[in-house]
Amino acid sequence: MNRFSRDANQTTEQTPPFGATDTSPSAEPLHGAWAGSSPDEARRLLEEVQLLGSRMRNNRRRAQQIDRRAAAYASRLARHTARLLQHMPDAIPAIRPVAGTGASTLRHYVLKHDLLEAPDRMRLLVVSSDGRLRICTALTDGKRSRLWNDYEVANPPAGLGLSVVFEGLSSLIVQLESAVGKTEQQSDDHALDVDGLIADSEAKLSKAGSRLSPVDPLPDDDNDDWHSNDVMPPEGDLKSHGFEHRISFGGMRESAAPAASATTPASPARGRFQR
């Protein structure tokens, strides 16, 4: 065997065949780099993953509860606002649906309006007089047609979230409060006017009555249908001709009673205001 064949044999023995596995100690895989250095760390990693999933579920459940609470509050606030508007239906501008689209007897109060992507469409968020939230899509193409849909509080459309509902209802309540304040002021002014008229009338009646003594005999006293012991009605009796008869507001003609009883024969008892 020559030198070249001996070198080839040595090279064949030292070089492993293609695809053979190197079993030398330096070629062993490093398990800790990809599977954890120990089983305890693997269990810890699994617990962290499970805890993270539990936290995510809790957050989702909490968000749903918050949304449900907000939706319930918005619905309740809308009902109360509609109930207030029933007492003052003309305090806030309202719109009515087109005939034939249903709910034609309801009044709708605008909370927010905006333009959609289409230039001929306008969207209005309203609270109706029945306490429900609705969305009106109005076409401005000359036909003036309107499409009405219920507002889903749990699933609001884009751009009309619950914050928009709360803001619109709050603004509506502020307008109602202002209208109520104006009505109260008008009532106070009207009460002052009525009190002034009543005071003037009482002053005139008192002045007219002072010129007519309640005890002085009048020319037609004998023909007076009222008995001397009768009480005049509280509002006065103006049945006589002008002021010929004496005027009395709840008073009794006690001073004239003895003279009348001495000259007038006894008559059967009659009612208080019976003639």
DSSP H helical segments within the chain, as ranges?
3-14, 32-35, 39-87, 162-210, 257-263
| Domain tally, the chain | 2
Indicate whether 158 belongs to any domain: yes
At residue 10 the predicted structure's pLDDT band, cuts being 50, 70 and 90, is low
Contact 48, 93 (CB under 8 A): no
User: 80-102 pLDDT, tens per residue?
Assistant: 999 988 888 777 888 876 565 55
Indicate whether 23 belongs to any domain: no
User: 39-49 pLDDT, tens per residue?
Assistant: 888 889 999 99
Predicted confidence at residue 146, as pLDDT, reads 79
Q: What share of the chain is helix, strand, coil (3-state, %, to 5)?
A: 45, 10, 45
Indicate whether 10 belongs to any domain: no
User: 173-188 pLDDT, tens per residue?
Assistant: 998 899 889 989 999 9
Same domain, 67 and 89: yes
Residue 25 DSSP class: G
Write out the two tokens for 135: 């969305």
Indicate whether 226 belongs to any domain: yes
User: 217-227 pLDDT, tens per residue?
Assistant: 555 555 555 45
Same domain, 75 and 145: yes
Helix (H), strand (E) at residue 109: strand 108-115
pTM given for the model: 0.51
Phi/psi of residue 78, each to 5°? -65, -40
Indicate whether 173 belongs to any domain: yes
Domain interval for residue 232: 213-260
More confident residue, 54 or 122: 54
Contact 137, 147 (CB under 8 A): yes
Q: Which amino acid is at 275?
A: R
Indicate whether 84 belongs to any domain: yes
Same domain, 204 and 69: yes
